[in-house]
Structure formats: structure tokens, C-alpha cells
Amino acid sequence: MIVGFAPGGGVDTASRVIARHLVRFIPGEPRVIVQNMEGAAGIVSSNYLYQRAPADGLTLGSGTLLVLSKAR
């Protein structure tokens, strides 16, 4: 799970809570690793998800709606 904000903030905390419980709902109980990719108010992580992350359904993004809608 890619988080577009610094560790310890509200989005990071919420993402870590979701990641902790997400494993119960994915078959095979995989590990969910939270990776912070802060910068430009979350746009860096949004662009990474859109342009570089493999489109295999294994990478999740976490951020604000405003940032996720501006990714290109």
C-alpha cells in the first residue's frame, strides 16, 4: 500500500489501520506493507501509482480524493 503522506500523519495512520485488517479479506492472507512516498502533497505517490506501479492489482494507493483525482 502506497501512502502519499509522511509517517505519523492522519492518512498514514488510517492506511495502517486499514492494512492491518485488509489481510483478513484477501485470499491467502498475504502481507500488506505500507510504504510512505511523501512529496508534493501526495502527487508524487499518485503519479507513481499511475505511471510506474505494475497494473497487476497488487498495489493499493492511499491518499486524499483531491490528490488522487489530479494524478497524471
pLDDT score of 45: 87
Specify burial of residue 2 (Cβ count, 10 A radius: 0-12, 13-18, 19+): buried
Taking 50 as the pLDDT cut, the residues of the chain under it are none
pLDDT score of 65: 64
pLDDT score of 42: 81
pLDDT score of 19: 92
